[in-house]
Every structure is written in structure tokens, then in C-alpha cells.
Amino acid sequence: MDSITQAVLGASIQGTLLGRWQGRKALLYGAMLGTLPDMDVVIDYGDAVADMTYHRGFSHSLIVLTAAALVLTWLTRRVRHNPGYSAQRLFFTLWLVLLTHPLLDAFTSYGTQLFWPLMPTPSAWSSIFIIDPAFTLPLGIAVTLGLFYGLRDKTAKAPAIALLLSTLYLASTLGGKYMAEQRVEAELARQDIQADVLFSTPTPLNSLLWRVVVLEGEDYHESLVGWFDREPPQLQRLPRGTRLAAALADSAAHTRLAWFTDGVLRYDQIGEHLVVTDIRLGMTGVHPFRFNFATLRDGKWQVHEQIDRWPAPMVDFYHLQVLWQRIWQPELDVPLVAWASELEKPRPGATRQTCLKGRDDC
């Protein structure tokens, strides 16, 4: 999740458990501690694929963070002993603030290595978008009230109430994910499509409309499924370009990327470049993690030793507007195939042309 969400989550937990004794400082300490695991972003791991796949690694490990909570508890009791609460309460608070960071991250699509240094496929439960105001807002309000009025009287319970509301909302996103996957699986059965992998994730900034990706051999299907849909989901087929993956058979970076994403990748030949896209993240046509893996020379792919990011557009207002309308108007035809093809046009340094005139022009 974004840093603001992690900060207000940590502040709410520490405010709930230690606010009686620490007052406003509990919110500040919790906010700082809640964002600590993301400090690994300052580490340069060597190239773009390494930076992506080593992020949310050791600093998000439940094993490492449990040890860190023990050390911080010991240091705090030695330096700033407070007789008002026990070492057990302090440890439990610090442990919760630290561990809820990677656990919340695991509910997004990115991939979090909860059990580092063990190497299972990173956890990506993908039931909440990386920025979701419905989750963050209650926590933000509670922390703001606590900072202004302190954690006493009527505002003392605000962080706990906010945690309850946000937790209930997070649980509801699992229901949305189940709904979307069940509807798509029913349509796959009706069309006799054998899915290799089915991946679902909410569209940006909400949990009412879901994007479902179905891998099927050399192709993949995209579908949008909303809570208010009355008709079966439409599956839009796109080429996945898996034949190009053979050129990367000896690439350690590609092997790691395939492990990190559980193979939910697309391969494009763009001019003389072999570009690999993580199609789990972002949205159709606006995938932020694309990598320039190889260059075509004399008819053969030359795999790069260091992998660079390929230019990718940001989600723009037009796409968000169409998706927002699609939530309430299930009959709206969203041109996912056209949106996906937009990413095949740019070259490094080029800008993307965005359709702004309506669906028929996309």
C-alpha cells in the first residue's frame, strides 16, 4: 500500500494500544514505525528487475520483523522505561505495527515475501488496490482527530473504531474477489476454456469493479466484473507472445521475474526490442512494470546483462472516468483490447497518444 496508508495504520495501532500513556506521541511513533519496512526502496539492487523483485523482501519478512520488534522492545525498555505498561504490551504493539505493514501489502497485487529468506512465490492476494481511499480514510480521520485533540475522552477510541472499519472493509474486498472469480470461472466453463492461471485484482481506487486476467496458452483474456453486473462477463482475447520467452531461457533476471509474478507476464516485440510486461499490476493498457530484456541483432536476440525499465504511461483521468462509469453502467463497452494495444506503440522517450473522444475512437 501507499506510504500514507501505512503511516496512518501504524499510528492507529499504536494509538489504540499505547495512546493512554504516550498520548499524541503514540501516533507519531506508530506512523514512523509503520513505514519503516519500505525503507528498502533506497537500496539499489543493480537493475530494474532486481529492484522490483527484491523490494518487499527482507524488510517485509515476518521473521525479520518479529526479531526487530524484540530488539526495539529491549532498547525501549532500557532507554525510556515506562512503568505504566508492561514489556509484553510494548512488544505486542511494536510487533503489530511492524507486521501489519507487510500483511496489508500482501493484500495488493505486487507480491510480498512474507517468509524471506525462504523462497515461496511472493504473497499477492490482490484484493485491494495499492491506493484505496475507502480503507485509508477512516484511519486518516482518526489520526487527525488524535493529533488535534489528543487521545482522551471522546477521541480516545477513535483509532480503535477506525481500525475496525478498515478491517471490515478489507474483509469485504475478499468477497468482491470471490464474486469476480466465480463469475469468470462460470463463463470459462460455458465457453469450454481451460485456464492455465486466473488472476483477479480490483481496478484503481475502488473494490466495486474487478479486472480478471485468464492465461490460456499463447493468449490471455481480460474481463471486467462489477458488483452490479447483470450479464455474464465478456472475455476479450489478447496475444501473450509466449513464443518470445524462448529467447530468455538462459536469463536469470527473467527466471526471477517469472517466479516473482507467478508467470503472469506478456511478451512483446516492439521494433527491435523484446519487452516483458507484468500484467498483474496497474490496469489494462497501463502496466507500470515493463522491462526491456533483449535487442534484435542480425536476426538473433541479444539478452541484456542489465535490464532497464521500458517507458510506461501513467493511469490518466480518461481511463479512470471510463472505469468509474463502468461500475454503475454495466452495459458500458470498455475497449480493453484497444487500451492494451496502446502500449505496443511507444519507443523509449516517446509519449503515448491517449484517446479522449469516446469509446468509438479508441
pLDDT score, position 312: 82
Nearest to 85 by CA among 24, 20, 27, 30: 20
Q: Is residue 85 within 8 Å of residue 256, measured between CB atoms?
A: no
Tell me, rounded to whole angstroms, the distance of Cα 35 from its chain centroid: 16
SS3 61: coil
* Buried residues in 263-277 as b, exposed as e (16+ CB within 10 A): ebbbbbbbeebbbbb
pLDDT score, position 341: 67
Rounded to whole angstroms, the Cα distance separating 53 from 259 reads 9
Is residue 260 left, alpha or beta, with left meaning phi > 0 and alpha meaning psi from -120 to 50? alpha
Strand arrangement, sheet containing 236-239: 197-202, 209-216, 219-226, 236-239
CB-count burial class (<10 Å; 0-12, 13-18, 19+) for 331: exposed
Start-to-end CA distance of the chain, whole Å, equals 31
Grid cell locating 268: 512483446
Q: Which helix (H) or strand (E) holds 214?
A: strand 209-216
Helix H segments across the chain?
3-22, 24-35, 48-54, 62-79, 87-106, 133-149, 158-190, 252-261, 317-328, 336-342
Q: Which residues pair with 268 in a beta bridge?
A: 275
* Buried residues in 110-124 as b, exposed as e (16+ CB within 10 A): bbbbbebeeeeebbb
Grid cell locating 193: 476454456
| Per-residue confidence in pLDDT tens, the chain, 362 aa | 999 999 999 999 999 999 999 999 999 999 999 999 999 999 999 999 999 999 999 999 999 999 999 999 999 999 988 999 999 999 999 999 999 999 999 999 999 999 999 989 999 999 999 999 999 999 999 999 999 999 887 788 999 999 999 999 999 999 999 999 999 999 999 999 999 999 999 999 999 999 999 999 999 999 999 999 999 999 999 999 999 999 999 999 999 999 999 999 999 999 999 999 999 998 888 899 999 999 999 999 999 999 999 988 777 788 899 999 999 999 999 888 888 765 454 434 433 333 333 333 33
pLDDT score, position 342: 54
- Tell me the Cα Rg of the chain: 23
CB-count burial class (<10 Å; 0-12, 13-18, 19+) for 143: buried
Q: Is residue 322 within 8 Å of residue 332, measured between CB atoms?
A: yes
pLDDT score, position 354: 34
φ/ψ (deg, to 5) at 300: -125, 145
Rounded to whole angstroms, the Cα distance separating 41 from 36 reads 11
Between strands 290-297 and 236-239, the pairing is: unpaired
Grid cell locating 59: 524488510
Grid cell locating 86: 508492561
Rounded to whole angstroms, the Cα distance separating 296 from 11 reads 51
